[in-house]
Amino acid sequence: MSEARVTDETVKPAPKALPRGPTEGPLTPEELQLSARNHSMPLEALRYDITPLGLHYLLIHFDIPMIEAAHWRLAIGGHVARPLELTLNDIRARPSVTLPVTLECAGNGRSRLFPRPVSQPWVTEAVGTGLWTGTPLAGLLAEAGVAENAVEIVFTGADHGLEKGHELDYARSLSVAEAERPEILLAYAMNGQPLLPQHGFPLRLIVPGWYGMASVKWLTRIEAVTEPFKGYYQASNYHYRSGPDDPGEPVRRIRPRALMVPPGFPDFLTRKRTVAAGSCRIEGRAWSGQAPVERVVLGIDGRWLEAVLDPAPGLFAWRRWSCVWEAEPGEHMLSCRATDASGQSQPLEQNWNWIGVGNNMVQAVPVTVR
């Protein structure tokens, strides 16, 4: 057998170095590589209350770890009275809860920012609603006995890699009070099936209401700590920063957003929509991690119509909305805008920040009516 040879034809250097900060330039090869690995939810899947397996978005920083359930253990330790080591069967034998939860990546909307922070270049569809089954974290924390002086609980995944020169495991923390909220799950099933490898098999955290980074996948360790956790994804990444030197505010709960099922049919390359003239029902979903969505309006060339909201399938899941549009021939711009019970609404202009998180600017969908 001849030895494989690496030649100039097979390996080409990247055309230029990755820009260090936001860019006004075209998409880089690194962004293309990330977006091919981490897919979004095709917007036509907004038709489902529960996103079918395989259509939910994915965000994986490093590699998907391959874990065999038989050899896997969850360690619960640190400042606890009774450290635990549990098998998947131990966790499955505990009280279980099934909850529809809308997850959204904090970077959703990033590629619509100008200048564009160079990272996973989401457009608007890094969202999905899973029906998650697991055991409430609070029960296990009570069993382990979190020490009085513990301030946070740290969750560590089995995946490992480099970020800006730091070598690390993916890990995030929650304050003890937040971790004890009853809806926080250690989930082993999604839509009635064991977790798929890419969604965190065999066990992941689900933190309803928070942007996706909090819901640590491939969990291996849960630790009570007496000092605030300073891990990269907690202390350095996931902050709303105005520039590289601004420490910023941590990213937590999901800001309100409404999206529509793209009306009519698309052009293959541009995705531009064509709709038949006449009564056209526009529908979509709206969610917020801060308070229930109370209102959605559909914008037609800057004129706003009130949409009808269906009941939400759960406290932490998106709501369907719909509205009838009398479509007249010509070129139109449709948009939709959600407002939640805390009074927060979506901005009409970009929500710019250094790493491109929390950009919930309203969606704009150009449509040709004929």
Ligand X SMILES: Nc1nc2c(c(=O)[nH]1)N[C@H]1C(S)=C(S)[C@@H](COP(=O)(O)O)O[C@H]1N2
Interface contacts to ligand X, rule CB under 6 A = 56-61, 103, 105, 157, 159, 170, 199, 212-213, 215-218
| Cβ at position 163, least distance to Mo ion in Å | 13
Which does residue 218 touch among ligand X, Mo ion, none (CB within 5 to 8 A, set by kind)?
A: ligand X
Query: Which of 46/105 has CB closer to Mo ion?
Result: 105
58: partner contacted, choices Mo ion, ligand X, none (Cβ within 5-8 A by kind): ligand X
Cα gap 25→115, rounded to integer Å? 8
Q: List 171's β-bridge partners, or say none.
A: 156
30: amino acid identity, one letter: E
Q: Residue 336, SS3?
A: strand
Which residue carries 């040709």 as its tokens? 368
Q: Is 207 in the site for Mo ion (CB under 5 A)?
A: no
Nearer to ligand X, 103 or 300 (CB): 103
Residue 34 binds Mo ion (CB under 5 A): no
- Contact mark string toward Mo ion, 88..127, x via CB under 5 A: -----------------x----------------------
Q: Which does 159 bind (CB under 5 to 8 A by kind): ligand X, Mo ion, none?
A: ligand X
Tokens at 159, concatenated: 């995946």
Nearer to Mo ion among residue 184 and residue 213 (C-beta):
213
Contacts with 105 (C-beta within 8 Å, 6 or more apart), sequence order: 57, 59, 120, 122, 126, 127, 211, 212, 213
Q: Of 181, 200, 189, 180, whose CA–CA distance to 91 is shortest?
A: 189
Cα–Cα separations (whole angstroms), residue 103 to 107, 118, 128, 198, 243: 12, 22, 6, 15, 27
Closest contact distance (angstroms) between CB of 181 and Mo ion is 20
Place of tokens 């300073």: 230
* 190 is an interface residue for Mo ion by CB under 5 A: no
Q: Return the closest-CA partner of residue 321 out of 344, 337, 300.
A: 337
Give whichever of 154 and 323 is closer to ligand X, judged by the CB atom.
154
Instruction: Supply the minimum distance, in Å, between the C-beta of residue 363 and ligand X.
Output: 19
**Which of the listed partners (ligand X, Mo ion, none) does 122 bind, with a CB threshold of 5 to 8 Å by partner kind?**
none
In the complex, what is the shortest distance from the CB of residue 216 to ligand X, in angstroms, rounded to a whole number?
4
Q: Which residue's CB is nearer to Mo ion, number 128 or number 134? A: 128
Which residue type, as a one-letter code, is found at position 178?
E
Contact 212, 106 (CB under 8 A): yes
**Nearest to residue 265, comparing CAs of 46, 40, 49, 44?**
44
Exposed, middle or buried by CB within 10 Å (0-12, 13-18, 19+), for 154?
A: buried
| 135 vs 353 by CB, closer to Mo ion | 353
By CB under 5 A, what part of segment 52-71 binds Mo ion?
59
The count of other CB atoms within 10 Å of the CB of residue 36 is 8
Give the Cα-Cα-Cα angle 48, 335, 115 (nearest 5 degrees): 105
Least separation in angstroms between residue 120's CB and Mo ion is: 8
Q: What does 313 bind: ligand X, Mo ion, none (CB cut-off 5 to 8 Å by kind)?
A: none
336 binds, among ligand X, Mo ion, none (CB under 5 to 8 A by kind): none
Least separation in angstroms between CB 213 and Mo ion: 5
Q: Is residue 80 a contact partner of residue 144, using CB atoms and an 8 Å limit?
A: yes
Closest CB to ligand X among residues 156, 363: 156
Quick check: 212 binds Mo ion (CB under 5 A)?
yes
Question: Taking Cα atoms as reference points, which of 247, 266, 276, 263 lies closest to residue 336?
Answer: 263
Q: Kindly tell me which of 118 and 296 has the beta carbon lying closer to Mo ion.
A: 118
- Residue 218 or 232 with smaller CB distance to ligand X: 218
Q: Does residue 195 bind Mo ion (CB under 5 A)?
A: no
Rounded least distance, CB 1 to ligand X, Å:
37
Distance of alpha carbon 184 from alpha carbon 187, whole angstroms: 9
To ligand X, the closest distance from the beta carbon of 211 in angstroms equals: 7
Residues near Mo ion (CB under 5 A) are 59, 105, 212-213
